[in-house]
Amino acid sequence: MHQTCSSAHVIYPKLAVILLCLLFSAEAFAQSARTPAPGTEERAAIMDALRGPAEKELKQSVIFKVDTLRVAGDWAYARVSPTRPNGDEIDFSKTKYRKQLELGAFDPQGEALLRLEDDGWKVLEWAFGGTDVASVAWGDKYRFPKSILQ
């Protein structure tokens, strides 16, 4: 009997540590997401971070119509539609997406997963033009609050 009590004294503290770790992990990934308001510095910084990959992809200057923008902690998810800075729509038939457009396999929206680092927002994933939802696969690669996708 003495040996059983001794084992219990060792097991219970370890179990408590494991349970606390699980609790804090679940809490971290259950953060509620919010949408930064138009005109805020945070929203502008996220859009500025996205601009690089979008302009590289489309080979022209862009601004974004924001379809979805969700932030939780230092994670952000954006679904955007690029337009020209003067507000005109982009003629995607003059981009590398011409063939996809002709085949009806083109969606003029981009999806991005970003993380806030010491020097600002960084784009971890950028998907553009596809008809599938790219963000579904990102959950396997990154541990971000799922609330940003809702």
* pLDDT score for 28: 45
Q: What is the pLDDT of residue 36?
A: 97
Lowest-pLDDT choice from 16-30, 45-59, 107-121 = 16-30
For position 27, what pLDDT does the model report?
A: 43
Comparison of pLDDT for 17 and 140, the residue scoring more: 140
DSSP line for 98-123: HHHHHHT--EEEEEEEEEEETTEEEE
DSSP secondary structure of 54-103: HHHHHTS--EEEEEEEEEETTEEEEEEEEE-TTSPPP-GGGSTTHHHHHH
Burial class (CB in 10 A: 0-12, 13-18, 19+), 50: buried
pLDDT at residue 140, rounded to an integer? 87
How many C-beta atoms surround the C-beta of residue 60 within 10 A?
Answer: 14
- Determine what percent of the chain is predicted with pLDDT higher than 70: 80
Provide the 3-class DSSP secondary structure of residue 8. Answer: helix
- pLDDT, one tens digit per residue, over 83-142 is 999 999 999 888 889 898 899 888 899 999 999 999 999 999 998 888 778 788 898 899
Q: Look at the block and give the residue holding tokens 């601004």.
A: 63
CATH class of the structural domain 32-149: alpha beta
**pTM of this structure:** 0.77
Q: What is the pLDDT of residue 13?
A: 57
**Beta carbons of 36 and 69 less than 8 angstroms apart:** yes
Across 32-51, average pLDDT: 97
Mean pLDDT of 48-53: 95
